[in-house]
Amino acid sequence: MPNKNTQEYWEERGRKAIENELKRDKTKAEEIERILNMMIKRIEKEINAFIVKYGDFAGVTLQEAQKIIDEFDVKAFQEEAKRLVENKD
């Protein structure tokens, strides 16, 4: 059986290793969250630009373009849900 000092040393070393891993995990998670938020903002910007472009092309206001797109999204979702139920995917 290891003496008390040796056992305490390894227990403390294990605790410190776990603490360090948790700190690194937290840092990585924060970096991933920062990157995801940046990507979300870019995607939202592209979507908004598309809506504006569609509205200009269709000759409708931004709100009307958004409503048309939302209705299209709902119909597409309903069709996909129906297909999944029929195919039991």
Q: Spell out the domain ranges in the chain.
A: 4-87
Count Cα neighbours of 50 within 13 Å in the Cβ-side half-sphere.
Answer: 9
Biggest alpha carbon–alpha carbon distance for the chain? 83
What confidence tens digit (pLDDT) does each residue in 35-71 have? 999 999 999 999 889 989 988 998 998 889 888 888 8
Contact (Cβ atoms closer than 8 angstroms) between residue 55 and residue 62: yes
pTM above 0.75, yes or no: no
Section 5-16 average pLDDT: 93
How far is Cα 41 from Cα 38, in angstroms, rounded to an integer? Answer: 5
The answer to whether residue 25 scores a pLDDT higher than 90 is yes
pLDDT at 89: 57
pLDDT above 70 covers what percent of the chain?
94
How far is Cα 74 from Cα 48, in angstroms, rounded to an integer? Answer: 18
